[in-house]
Every structure is written in C-alpha cells, then in structure tokens.
Amino acid sequence: MCGIVAYIGFQPAAPIIYKCLGKLEYRGYDSCGIAISNRDNITVEKDTKRVAALQFNTLPLDGKIGLGHTRWATCGEPSRANAHPHVDCLHKIAVVHNGNIENFEELRKALVGEGHIFTSETDTEVLPHLIEKYYEGELGQAVTRAIKDIRGSFAIAVICAGEEKVVLAKQKSPLVIGLIDKEYIAASDIAALLDYTDRVMYLEEGDVCNITTVGIELYRNGVLTELTEERIAWKPADTRLGGFSHYMMKEINEQPRVITETLAAFEGVSEKLIGLLDPPENRRTSLLMVGCGTSYHSALVGKYIFEELIGRPVNVELASELNYRANVIADKVALAISQSGETADTLQAVRRIKATGCKMVCITNVEGSQLSRLADLSIYTKAGPEISVASTKTFIAQVALLYAICISHANIDEILKKDLERGLGQIPILIRQFLNEQSNIETLGRYLATFNNVLFVARGINYPVALEGALKLKETSYIHGEGYAAGELKHGPFALLDSNTPAIAIVAHDRTYEAMLTNIREIKTRKAPVIAVVEEGDKEVADLVDIVIEVPHTDPFFSPMLNVVALQLLAYYTALERGCPIDFPRNLAKTVTVE
C-alpha cells in the first residue's frame, strides 16, 4: 500500500527520501515520486518506475525539505499523472497521501467549479487544491482547515514553497515521526526510519503537526500537545537480506529463533493476559478472534487449540466481513491478530468490537502500531520486520503465542501443563532440524510448478494449515491453490479432481488420521496425484500416496507449526521455478491500509 516519507533538516533531502522510500518498497507499489522544496520553488519528479530507477533517471534535486511517496493504485490507474506528490494550480503546495478520500468526487466538482485545474484521476489531488483554497500565509492552518472537508482516511505530508516546514495530518492511516538531532523524518512505518534513528513519535487520530528544524508543534483536538518519544527495538540489519536471495527464504529460516524469542517475551505479559481472559465471570464466555489473510488463518488455528485444550468456545471472524454485519456479537474479551497492526479492516473491526464494551487483546508484530494503541492489552510477536509480502515467520509467531496463551490459560493438571510447555519449547529445534534436513521440497516445487490448480486438504487443527498453504502457493507462484476441509471434498470439489490437479494432504497422527486416509484413497481413485505432508516414518501414508514430505515427530497438537513450514518451502520453490517475484507478488501490498 502507499508509503509516505517527509524530511526536514540540514542535509540534502532527496537522497534521504529515496533511501527511506526504498525501505517502504516492501509494502507494495506501482509508481513513486518525490517533491523537494527550495526557497520559492518545488520540484516534483514521479513515474511508474522503481524507486532506484526514478533516482537514477532524475537530475540531483537541491533542497533540505521534501516529500516522497510509493503509490499502490486505488483511485486511477498506475501512471505518471496519478503518481504522488500532487500539487496545487500554482505549483506551490505539494502533498503525499496514504488513505482513501471518500467524498473526493463532490470536492473535486466544487473545486473545478471554482477554477481549480486537475491533472490526475486520483482522490488525493483534491488535497493540494483545498489547501491552496484555504491558504492565507501559513501552511498548518490551511491544512487544518482543508482536512475538515475530507471524509475518509488519510496520512498526509505537505510542503509549501517559501515555508520552511513540513505539515503532517493523520486520520486512520499510519504515520510515525523519526527524530534525529534537529532533523525529522516522517514515514508510514518504522522500517523506513531504521537506518537513521531508533527514536520515534507516533501520531494519533486527528493530529495535525507542524515540523520545522526548531521542533515539532503538535495539535491534538486543536490543542497544542506534547508528543512522547518512544524507542524502536528493531535494528537496521533486520531489514537486510543477510546472504539469502529472497526475504521469504530468510524469514522462513528465522522461524526457530522467532518462536523462541516470542515465547520468552510472552512470559512477561502472561499474568496480565490471564487476568483479562480468565476472571470467573469470563470463563464460560466465548472468545472472538479477528484478523485478515494469514493472520485470520492463525486465528483459526487458535480456535482449534482453545477448543481442544480448554473447551472455551472461540468464534473466528474475517475482519472485513465483521465490519459489514448489522450487529457485532462479542462477549467479554476479543483477540485481534495482525502482523502489521495497520490493516484497515482489522482496525475497523476492533473499533466496532470495542464499541460493544468488549475488552480487546491484540497480537501484533509492530510496537506502536495503531492496533497496539487501540487494544487494552498488546502481546507482541518478536519476529522483527517481515519484508516479504508472503507472511511466514509472523504466522508461526502468532500461532506459537496462541499455544502459549492457551496453555497458560488452561485449567489442567500441572504435569500435563509442563508436558505441553516442553512440547512447545521443542518446536524451534524440530523446525531447525527440518530446515536442515529436508531434501525433496525443491524438486517437488519444480514438479508443482507445471500445474495450474492445486488442492490443499486437511482436517481438524491442520485445516487452517491447508488454507494457509494454498494462500502461500497462490500469492507467490500465481498457481491457483485451494484449501479445503478434506471431509468437504465430496460435497463439490471432487468434480475438479483429475490427473492435472494434484492434491496436497496434510496428515496428522490425531483423531483425524483414519478419516484422512479414507479421503486420500478417494482422491487417488480420481487419478489426482497426491503429495502428503506426514510425520517421519509414516509408512501407511507413504504407501498410499505418490510423494511424501516428512516432518519430524511431534505431539499432533503442535503439528501445524511443522506442517506449515513444509508448505511455505513448497510455495517458495514452486515460485522460484516459475520465475515469480517471490517477495513482491504482483498486485499485492504488505500492509493493507485501505478497506
């Protein structure tokens, strides 16, 4: 999704802005641009190029104040004209924007009627014209007035020729300011800032802020307010490839460490959380979990875990669906899961759930994210920045946390509790062993790359893993993958099966085992090739299917954490064989900040 950057300080702005934009590329974009202010002039360069190409193909820009933008088209196709920054008629005001202006058509019509000339199809372009309309010699006041006319979501950065300041405003879309000595970089997320600073300030809904080299003047609800400084724990090296050819592979390999660090950090919040989840009046109430995409899949794993171990009912909802229900049905506590903590659908669902009086716990990877600010309690996955659009290490960290929460929450005998804790603690070692020893997935990826459709089937606790495996395959390799509950095949998808549609069966040694064998036989009868992800040494499945991927033995309760790694690798190697841009799939964005 769109990423914005703004710089003000005493160094040439352009190289810093380009570098920060480069760090936002992972969010997904189709065009980019920069505006540099130098005394009475603003120079804008933009195109449908990559950030590095734009920088390489433009003359050096002189000036110590500027804006940058990576655009993920939502309103108007990707083109030079639609790329940001957008400017007013006199080319004195430049704006970058992340978000969605719902009433832009009526605003545009009125502005055109007043003589403003538009040059793009975007919603954003109404902003520089509105600011121009209200400008009376001070940019901050004009921005404050202009945003009163806007309905929708926005994080904006604005500059004006002749004024040595950057003005920021935020409503629903993310915006953070990085502090360096007498220099400031504002950006959509902290990944952009890591090379420059670990000191940040987060803006809240409705904030408007004027930044000069003298300092930050923040207006919250119109009142001048002090911002609090916070520290980022991530390091610049966390965003580098570190010898891997793709972030996805790097992040898959980080999983053992990520689980260990996530579980260690959880110990610090466990008591607080249990206090919230488990007061006597809550024990029989249901727990609502929400998320999108991969985070939704981890919530589904959570449902199986909670219901299996403690019998507490869990309702899992797609945030985007919950947002359009007439009524939100939530009990006392709900849990929102989001890697970025900025997914617009999830944030909106959280607002709706909170409005019912329900307490909100969140699992997120980004401290300071909007989700963590909305939640009553935040639990962090310690995955470090996840750059690849396809989530891997954050999924496993979310799932590890759900296990840890469930085990510490469970009213079970101490010996069983210790056993489960030990079992969970072993998972990083088993994943490391699997990553080191697995030998046939690369070959299998080459084989899978020749098909157009692949079915992923499982039952029980591994059903969400089938959904996640299918999602990983489709987004990285552009092969249609469909995850299905194995027992549902006979209710429709059997019609798809033939020798051109392989099925990937995820088989765990739990109460679903025999039923899975039956389903595999049914699939084989329809001549579909079957690849099974099984526990090592499972002869019975090996004899039945065409190929097996063996994962190390574990308690089947924890099997999703091993099985999903096999499917992540399979998606990776399939995409590699097909020559796909693994880390940055077409049309996708890492952080989805529009609904």
What stretch of H or E contains 396? helix 393-409
The least distance separating ligand M6R from the CB of residue 339, rounded to whole angstroms, comes to 3
CA pair distance 563, 507, nearest whole angstrom: 9
Taking the CB of residue 435, how many other CB atoms lie within 10 A of it?
A: 14
CA pair distance 169, 415, nearest whole angstrom: 54
What stretch of H or E contains 170? strand 166-171
Q: Which of 168, 390, 396, 489 binds ligand M6R (CB under 6 A)?
A: 390
Identity of the residue, 107 or 471, whose beta carbon is nearer to ligand M6R in the bound complex: 471
Whether 590 is catalytic: yes
Please list, in sequence order, all residues whose beta carbon lies within 8 angstroms of the beta carbon of residue 577, skipping any fewer than 6 positions away.
445, 446, 448, 449, 477
Please list, in sequence order, all residues whose beta carbon lies within 8 angstroms of the beta carbon of residue 109, skipping any fewer than 6 positions away.
none
Identity of the residue, 473 or 506, whose beta carbon is nearer to ligand M6R in the bound complex: 473
The least distance separating ligand M6R from the CB of residue 407, rounded to whole angstroms, comes to 23
* SS3 category, 148: coil
Q: Which of 77, 76, 74, 58 is nearest to 66 (CA)?
A: 58
Contact between 294 and ligand M6R by CB under 6 A: the answer reads yes
Q: Which of 469, 291, 337 is nearest to 390 (CA)?
A: 469
Q: What is the DSSP secondary-structure string of 298-313? A: HHHHHHHHHHHHT---
Identity of the residue, 396 or 592, whose beta carbon is nearer to ligand M6R in the bound complex: 592
* SS3 category, 262: helix
Identity of the residue, 147 or 252, whose beta carbon is nearer to ligand M6R in the bound complex: 252
Which residue's CB atom is positioned nearest to ligand M6R? 293
What would the two tokens of residue 585 be?
Answer: 């799939």
Q: Which of 191, 142, 133, 190 is nearest to 163 (CA)?
A: 142
Q: Which of 153, 239, 339, 559 binds ligand M6R (CB under 6 A)?
A: 339
Contact between 343 and ligand M6R by CB under 6 A: the answer reads yes
Contact between 391 and ligand M6R by CB under 6 A: the answer reads yes
Contact indicator for 85, 92 with CB cutoff of 8 Å: no
Identity of the residue, 48 or 339, whose beta carbon is nearer to ligand M6R in the bound complex: 339
Contact between 298 and ligand M6R by CB under 6 A: the answer reads no
Catalytic residue among 49, 172, 393, 590: 590
Q: What is the DSSP letter of 227?
A: P
Q: Which of 43, 346, 372, 501 binds ligand M6R (CB under 6 A)?
A: 346
Q: Which of 293, 384, 469, 560 binds ligand M6R (CB under 6 A)?
A: 293
Bridge partner residues of 231 (DSSP) = 199
Q: Which of 263, 424, 592, 594 binds ligand M6R (CB under 6 A)?
A: 592
Q: Residue count at the site for ligand M6R (CB under 6 A)?
A: 15
The least distance separating ligand M6R from the CB of residue 364, rounded to whole angstroms, comes to 8
Contact indicator for 15, 183 with CB cutoff of 8 Å: no
Identity of the residue, 391 or 574, whose beta carbon is nearer to ligand M6R in the bound complex: 391
Contact between 320 and ligand M6R by CB under 6 A: the answer reads no
Query: Footprint of ligand M6R on residues 434-473 (CB under 6 A)?
Result: 471
Contact between 389 and ligand M6R by CB under 6 A: the answer reads yes
The least distance separating ligand M6R from the CB of residue 395, rounded to whole angstroms, comes to 8
Taking the CB of residue 36, how many other CB atoms lie within 10 A of it?
A: 26
> Which span (85-93, 254-262, 290-298, 542-550) binds ligand M6R, by CB under 6 A?
290-298
> Which span (66-74, 158-166, 172-180, 389-397) binds ligand M6R, by CB under 6 A?
389-397
Query: Footprint of ligand M6R on residues 506-525 (CB under 6 A)?
Result: none
Strands 333-338 and 287-291: parallel
> Which span (37-45, 177-185, 287-295, 504-512) binds ligand M6R, by CB under 6 A?
287-295
CA pair distance 143, 134, nearest whole angstrom: 8
What would the two tokens of residue 333 be?
Answer: 């506590």
Q: Which residues bind ligand M6R (CB under 6 A)?
A: 292-295, 338-340, 343, 346, 389-391, 471, 475, 592
Residue numbers annotated as active site: 2, 590
